[in-house]
Amino acid sequence: MPIDSRKLAEELQKAKFKGESAAEVLKRLAQKTEPPKKESVPAVAPVAGNKEGEPIPQGFINKAKTFTEAMLSRGLNNNKASDQTYSLRVLSCHGDNNGLSPCPKRMDSNKFPGSHYCGACGCGDKPLTQLTPFKNGDKMTEYTKLNYPKVTCPLEMPGFSNYKSSGENAKTANDRKLYIEVRHGVEDIKSKSNPS
């Protein structure tokens, strides 16, 4: 039974003052047990946990389907995701300089120094898979995988079209996702991840 997103967000807020990690909150809600009584202020935010999540397997058919959907959404006019959606994707892949580390699946590109690609989606290190603006020959390419109106993430992270909250899919739940959910709110993330 999925955990209610609103309840999860509330519990994560409270957990910051009870010394519980995000992973512990998730487990407690799933098992319907009581929170710890003793209140203490933790030194760090819930992102301190180390649950990385399990990427959803990217079979050949699934890869072909999501690639086609991404290309169609880009269209001939280089359509782009909104700035808000893009910002959430940047957080999901690259983290921030304020406590959120880059995704452990993010790989440094060998072909385009300074850029990155997703090591979990199985598409490899190619011009169309870069997560950062990159130099291709003499030309700077600004349109990256994070700009496509429709694009998926193997960890179903915030900002991506297949986003699932931590309460909806325990397999892909991870501490980085919980960290973003606590700060932005699940409902807000949902509306920006797959806008209609």
Task: By CB under 6 A, name the binding residues for ligand SF4.
Answer: 92-93, 103, 105-106, 118, 120-121, 153-155, 157
Q: How far is the CB of 18 from ligand SF4 (least distance, A)?
A: 28
**Containing H/E element for 51?**
none
Rounded (10°) CA dihedral 35, 37, 41, 46: -10
Q: Which is nearer to ligand SF4, 154 or 167 (CB)?
A: 154
Residue type, 102: P
Q: How far is the CB of 76 from ligand SF4 (least distance, A)?
A: 25
Q: Which is nearer to ligand SF4, 8 or 153 (CB)?
A: 153
Q: Which is nearer to ligand SF4, 29 or 186 (CB)?
A: 186
- What is the rounded CA–CA span in Å between residue 52 and residue 136? 32
Burial class (CB in 10 A: 0-12, 13-18, 19+), 62: middle
CA distances (Å), origin 188, targets 114, 134, 176, 182: 31, 30, 17, 11
Q: How far is the CB of 103 from ligand SF4 (least distance, A)?
A: 3
Q: How far is the CB of 156 from ligand SF4 (least distance, A)?
A: 8
Q: Which is nearer to ligand SF4, 35 or 102 (CB)?
A: 102
